[in-house]
Amino acid sequence: MKIGDKVRFLSEVGGGTVRGFRGKDIALVEDEDGFEIPMLIRECVVIQTDEYNIPLKSAKPVAPEVEEEEKPITYRAPEIRGNDVLNVLLAYVPQDIKAISSTPFDAYLVNDSNYFIDYLYLASEGKEWRLRSRGTVKPNMKMHLEEFTKGDLNQMEQIAVQLLAYKDDRSFTLKPVINQVFRLDAVKFYKLHTFQPSDFFREPALVYEIAKDDELAQPMVVSPDDIKEALLQKKETDIPAKVQRKQHQVKNEIVEVDLHIHELLDDTTGMGNAEMLNYQLDVFRQTLEEYKHKKGQKIVFIHGKGDGVLRRAILDELKRKYKTYQSQDASFREYGFGATMVTIH
């Protein structure tokens, strides 16, 4: 291996051109974005040798007036044996896993195949969609899509990824056009165990399969039953008996949702007041989304009296986004001053 060689990484997706060395074991590899990545030499495989940097065996000087004909440099995208099936993943990676309550996140599209992938990455805005990223991912590479914070999750409740696969320098088997739509669960971004080790990142990541073995991956839309189980109930296996919390209940066909932060999260360490409020409002929105087709359903949101910040935020949401829903103070006898009842219309 020498400066100018093109290499591919063995232990992760990626590669580039060798620009130098650090000691005997480290190669400095420049990727397609111009970033220099230190990588163990044993973790690199040469896929194209830079013949122009090989010293000539003969030391005979070349006459100044004689110029060698420039050789054309051709580059074929590296292919991996057995990787001609389409496998594409969408990954969300926290920038600082130790500060999960406040860290920004990076979104990546991972192309684990020998195909070029043209992609669109979109988020819904009501019944319409907004483009967040588009481009082409080279074979066996990953593409950074965007950086975002927890405050952006409200605009990312539903995600769509559209893919077109091809090879631009050789014949290939035609692959289906992929159109994957799924709901992004904002709650997961507050939980440390959501992010797991993967083959594509050094850091833990939340990974969704978009295409698997040439087919659309299993639909990732969360069903109403899943949302109800996640938001309105706590399984006994998830909470030790000594800290068992009050479960949400349905009384006289009225759904009760307790929005006190200690009822929603096991640990709020490192979360500011604004982050906790956004989390409570996410639960409020997801609950209304779950029951939006059940006309006449009554839902009591228990927010407590406190300083009234959560109550005012809920009433503001109802006024701006849920104008057709009826809202009123819940029964004082059962809830005191700390609950609002919403009727779906």
What class has domain 224-343?
alpha beta
User: What kind of fold does domain 88-216 have according to CATH?
Assistant: Immunoglobulin-like (2.60.40)
Tokens standing for residue 110 = 């991972």
What tens digit of pLDDT does each residue of 322-339 get?
A: 888 998 888 877 777 788
* Structure confidence at residue 223 (pLDDT): 44
Strand order in the sheet with 141-148: 141-148, 105-111, 88-94, 206-212, 215-216
pLDDT in the model for residue 59: 46
What does the pLDDT read at residue 145?
94
What does the alpha-carbon distance between residue 22 and residue 239 come to, in Å, rounded to a whole number? 50
pLDDT for 224: 46
Domain coordinates of the chain in residue numbers? 6-51, 88-216, 224-343
C-alpha distances out from residue 104 to 158, 203, 266, Å: 19, 14, 21
Record: fold of 6-51: SH3 type barrels. (2.30.30)
Kindly give the parts of the chain with pLDDT less than 50. Answer: 52-59, 71-75, 221-227, 230, 233-248
- Pick the closest to residue 181 from 110, 116, 129 (CA basis): 129
Q: What is the pLDDT of residue 247?
A: 45
The pLDDT of residue 134 is 94
